[in-house]
Amino acid sequence: CSTGGPKALQSVIPKLKKDMDAPMLVVQHMPAGFTLSLANRLNEISEVDVKEAEEGDVLRKGVVYIAKGGSHMELRNNGRESVIHLNTSPPRDGLRPCANIMYESLCNLNYDEIICVVLTGMDSDGTVGIRELKKHKKINVIAQDADSSVVYGMPKAIYEAGLVNEVVALDKIADTIMRKVEVQ
């Protein structure tokens, strides 16, 4: 998510159940210094644990990892575990963190199925990465609808690319995620 994302995340993350059977990764377009307070605020009002991603974090079920502002978040396999790697390589398409980089890094992870959620924001970040991810993994893509988006750019781009499985109003996204995560 991008423009309108912090408010959208406050409508989604607090509705997730603490026994969520998956980790969650969030790329919110924010500069360095702002994502820690966002993560702390969301952690205070949520059942799930929410934290700003740190180098070397091992992904755990029921934990939401927010990409550190000013850093790209990538995932790597470390044996049977998936580990977060942060880097400050140049912005991609003017963005750091960039969702495309995060999605592309999921291609080689030990997960059979991945749920992608694209929320409010300008431009098309996420579309290239999800297209690449679809070549390697079974994915299910949820896009926020136009009416509930502050800016219907990123969800519109992914929809127009033909990659969306469901278009959902913001107030229904958490339930949609939980329904899909619970299905094994």
Q: Provide the phi-psi class of 175: left if phi over 0, else alpha when psi is between -120 and 50, else beta.
A: alpha
Q: How many CA atoms lie within 13 A of 16 on its CB side?
A: 27
Catalytic residue among 125, 145, 148, 149: 125
Cα-trace Rg, the chain: 15
Whether residue 125 lies in the annotated active site: yes
Token representation of residue 120 = 């409010």
- Which residues make Cβ contacts (< 8 Å) with residue 53, sequence separation at least 6? 25, 65, 66, 67, 68, 73, 84, 86
Whether residue 2 lies in the annotated active site: yes
Neighbour-count burial for 29-67, b at 16+ CB within 10 Å, e otherwise:
bbeeeebeebbeebbeebebebbbbeeebebeebbbbbb
Whether residue 82 lies in the annotated active site: no
Residues belonging to the active site: 2, 29, 125
